A and B are shown apart, each in its own frame.
Chain A
Amino acid sequence: MTETLKVTRDRRDGLAVIYTEGYINNQGGEEIARVAYELIDEGEKVLLLNLRGTKIVNSIGISILIEIIEKMIEIDGKLAFCCLTPTIEKTFHIMGLAQYAGVYEDEEQAVAELAG
């Protein structure tokens, strides 16, 4: 059986938080995008992606995350990441995601920075 990424969402301190659990690949990335675009349609302009339950991401997943970042730029919004494993953080830096999206160690730090 193929396992899929679990995505949940929450709102706190004026921003929307998306939690992921599992592999961010094509299917996982699409699921994150679906939730992100849903939140954008609901008027959210600041999204925080908490990857505390994710240990692995592939290039397809990254390209989808880039599209979400581009979408956020398009609407003058902001996307940030938190709780990344060292490997994922390094990947995001090399792939240039960290250039356009904030990367924070934990959710509290990210919320303090983004909500302020």
Chain B
Amino acid sequence: MTPPSGIEAETAEWLELARLAGDAPRDSEYLKRLLDAYRQAREAEAAALYFRFEDTSLQRHVAIGEPPLPARLEQTEGGDLDLLSWSGGAVACRAPQRDAPAPLTTLLATALEVSRQRQQLKRQGFEAKLRGVQLEALYDVGLAITSMLDMEELSEAILLRAVSLLDARRGALYLLEDERFALQRTIGGDAAETIQLDDPVLAALLRGEAVGEQALVPGAVHLLLEPIESEAGRRGLLIVADKESRTGVGPFGRSDQRTLELFANQAAIALENARLHREALEKERLEREMELASEIQRRLLPTTIPVVPGFELYGWSRPAQQVGGDYYDLIVLGDGRCGLVVGDVSGKGMPAALMVSTVHSALRLLLDRLTVGPELIERLNRHISETSAPNKFITFFLAEVVGGVSAGDRSEMRFLNAGHNPALLVSPSGEMRRLETCGLPLGLLPDSTYDAGSVGIGPGDLLCVYSDGITEAVSPDDEQFGMSRLCEVLVSCREEPLETIVATIDRTTAEFAGGMPQADDQTLVLVRRRVDD
């Protein structure tokens, strides 16, 4: 095929240009080729077409030749450039050798104006759609109020949307914690970990004042802040920084402030809902934990009273809360012997229940191998010290009742008292004896030592082991029930059935408390040697 001659080639070029002129998606290509024809006609090094939009500056749309002409011309004058300018734009050449051919210039100006109009329509369409995105984002955050209850997820969604909605380069979300704003999330760069509520820079920024270089969002120049406030008060702070445009970053406008305000209002409700949801979950978790702990503790209490020849036994315990720190046990040891235990763990709830569980299991295992004595309690103490949380301890009274002793003999009871209230022994004549403490509570020091005590139990003798919830029951006048009142009750009803004695102590302390709520767990274990055996 013969290559086209000069005129044929030129005609083909113009026909191609005419075809491109009606093809909107290839607008840039058409302008570029038209501009190249113009540059060649003027024998210039480089040329560019500029649009003029709302402001007076000219923005480069198409460029030909190297190095390319500037992306933006601030003035209508092009400096050392040959500039042909009109209301909608301009065409610029660098180092042209010939004058501009009038028909080509007119064609270029017309094409540029058509293109500019198209661009303007496109820009308006883009802005309308963008407003749609903004409304959609506000709607979505509104929707999140009912659907997104995870605080982490919600914080991220709020910040992502605020930053993107306002074309911010950076952003940070803070929530109020311990009377200061604590950083939750950032986008685009670092931000201060915490901000004090009375931070002077924060106050100035919230008043809309310029502060220059600041440490809240280091390196950011233009900041926009909005407090997140619900009906319950201040909840957090939303910061966006450096509004972007194609040419760099600048300050935020009034409409941005309004948008951020609307956004913060929606976010406040969403965050408040998430907070309430978290609190409800926490409450539910605690209730479940308490129920479980209560169940653990209930299972540890004896369900039957062991039979010990020549003795009556009875145990009773009532926690002040759902789960208490008191514990008692009646353990059959064989050969007519029975171990009785009363303990009081420091603290309440699940940790106390777990400690009681540890003591219960360890004691039963040790009693399989050891007799009631110092070695047993010292090993128990070491085990508790090693396995329990620091500052957790248990006061503990352990005694061994020996049954099957003939009526004329006294039954020797060995006992160990690790920091517990003294047990009370009431004789048939009403004489009172205290079985005093002989060591530190279990769990305090791993190497504590203990001495065993011994006391003879004669027919009719009544032993009472109790927890401080009985003696420390408080009256409306803030007076404690005390040991003397307990002794009085024990002496006065020492011959009554054990169940009746417990009921009397319970009734008497309740009357003394005069309707005041039970402050501490109450536990009683009673042992009485039968007279007729």
Is the Cβ of B160 less than 8 Å from the Cβ of A63? Answer: no
Bound Cα distance from A60 to B190, whole angstroms: 22
Is the Cβ of B132 less than 8 Å from the Cβ of A58? Answer: no
Residues on the B chain within 8 Å of A114, using CB: none
Is the Cβ of B164 less than 8 Å from the Cβ of A95? Answer: no
Q: Does chain A have a CB within 8 A of B312?
A: no
Q: Does chain B have a CB within 8 A of A25?
A: yes
Q: Does chain B have a CB within 8 A of A56?
A: yes
Residues on the B chain within 8 Å of A112, using CB: none
Residues on the B chain within 8 Å of A63, using CB: 126, 246
Shortest distance in angstroms between B24's beta carbon and chain A's nearest beta carbon?
A: 10
Is the Cβ of B161 less than 8 Å from the Cβ of A87? Answer: yes
Q: Does chain B have a CB within 8 A of A70?
A: yes
Is the Cβ of A57 less than 8 Å from the Cβ of B164? Answer: yes
Is the Cβ of B136 less than 8 Å from the Cβ of A26? Answer: no
Shortest distance in angstroms between B288's beta carbon and chain A's nearest beta carbon?
A: 34
Q: Does chain A have a CB within 8 A of B410?
A: no
Is the Cβ of B26 less than 8 Å from the Cβ of A90? Answer: no
Contact of B160 among A1, A55, A70 (CB under 8 A): A55
* Residue of chain A at shortest CB distance from B241: A2
Interface of A is mostly: helix
Shortest distance in angstroms between B16's beta carbon and chain A's nearest beta carbon?
A: 15
Q: Does chain A have a CB within 8 A of B163?
A: yes
* Residue of chain B at shortest CB distance from A4: B188
Shortest distance in angstroms between B356's beta carbon and chain A's nearest beta carbon?
A: 49
Q: Does chain B have a CB within 8 A of A94?
A: yes
Q: Does chain B have a CB within 8 A of A35?
A: no
Is the Cβ of B167 less than 8 Å from the Cβ of A59? Answer: yes
Residues on the B chain within 8 Å of A2, using CB: 169-170, 188-189, 219
Residues on the A chain within 8 Å of B169, using CB: 2, 25-27
Interface of B is mostly: helix
Is the Cβ of B130 less than 8 Å from the Cβ of A59? Answer: yes
Question: A56-96: which residues lie under 8 A (CB-CB) from chain B?
Answer: 56-60, 63, 66, 70, 73-74, 87, 90-91, 94-96
Q: Does chain A have a CB within 8 A of B133?
A: yes
Shortest distance in angstroms between B139's beta carbon and chain A's nearest beta carbon?
A: 11
Bound Cα distance from A3 to B169, whole angstroms: 9
Residues on the A chain within 8 Å of B106, using CB: none
Question: B110-139: which residues lie under 8 A (CB-CB) from chain A?
Answer: 125-126, 129-130, 132-133, 136-137
Contact with A along B10-52 (1 / 0, CB 8 A): 0000000000000001101100000000000000000000000
Bound Cα distance from A40 to B133, whole angstroms: 30
Bound Cα distance from A88 to B44, whole angstroms: 45
Bound Cα distance from A70 to B125, whole angstroms: 16
Residues on the A chain within 8 Å of B137, using CB: 87
| Residue in A2, A3, A55, A66 with the greatest tally of chain B CB atoms within 10 Å | A2
Shortest distance in angstroms between A28's beta carbon and chain B's nearest beta carbon?
A: 10
Q: Does chain A have a CB within 8 A of B429?
A: no
With known contacts A2-B170, A87-B140, A58–B244 Cβ distance under 8 A: yes
Residues on the B chain within 8 Å of A94, using CB: 129, 132-133, 136
Residues on the B chain within 8 Å of A66, using CB: 126
Q: Does chain A have a CB within 8 A of B245?
A: yes
Residues on the B chain within 8 Å of A55, using CB: 156, 160
Question: A26-54: which residues lie under 8 A (CB-CB) from chain B?
Answer: 26-27
Residues on the B chain within 8 Å of A96, using CB: 125, 129
Contact of B167 among A25, A70, A74 (CB under 8 A): A25
Is the Cβ of A58 less than 8 Å from the Cβ of B188? Answer: no
Shortest distance in angstroms between A85's beta carbon and chain B's nearest beta carbon?
A: 9
Bound Cα distance from A63 to B129, whole angstroms: 12
Shortest distance in angstroms between B363's beta carbon and chain A's nearest beta carbon?
A: 57
Is the Cβ of B130 less than 8 Å from the Cβ of A95? Answer: yes
With known contacts A3-B189, A58-B164, A73–B25 Cβ distance under 8 A: yes
Residues on the A chain within 8 Å of B163, using CB: 23, 56, 58
Q: Does chain A have a CB within 8 A of B187?
A: yes
| Residue in B140, B187, B248 with the greatest tally of chain A CB atoms within 10 Å | B187
With known contacts A60-B246, A63-B246, A95-B129, A74–B29 Cβ distance under 8 A: yes
Residues on the B chain within 8 Å of A58, using CB: 163-165, 167-168, 244
Is the Cβ of A26 less than 8 Å from the Cβ of B244? Answer: yes
Residues on the A chain within 8 Å of B187, using CB: 23, 56
For the complex with contacts A2-B188, A56-B187, 12 further pairs of A-B residues with Cβ separation under 8 Å are A1-B190, A2-B219, A25-B167, A25-B244, A26-B248, A56-B160, A58-B163, A58-B244, A59-B130, A74-B26, A87-B161, A94-B129
Can you report 8 A-B residue pairs in the complex whose CB atoms are below 8 A from each other?
A1-B189, A1-B190, A2-B169, A25-B169, A58-B168, A63-B246, A94-B132, A94-B133
* Top 10 A-B residue pairs of the complex, sorted by shortest distance between their CB atoms: A2-B189, A26-B244, A58-B167, A58-B164, A56-B160, A94-B132, A95-B129, A60-B244, A56-B164, A73-B25
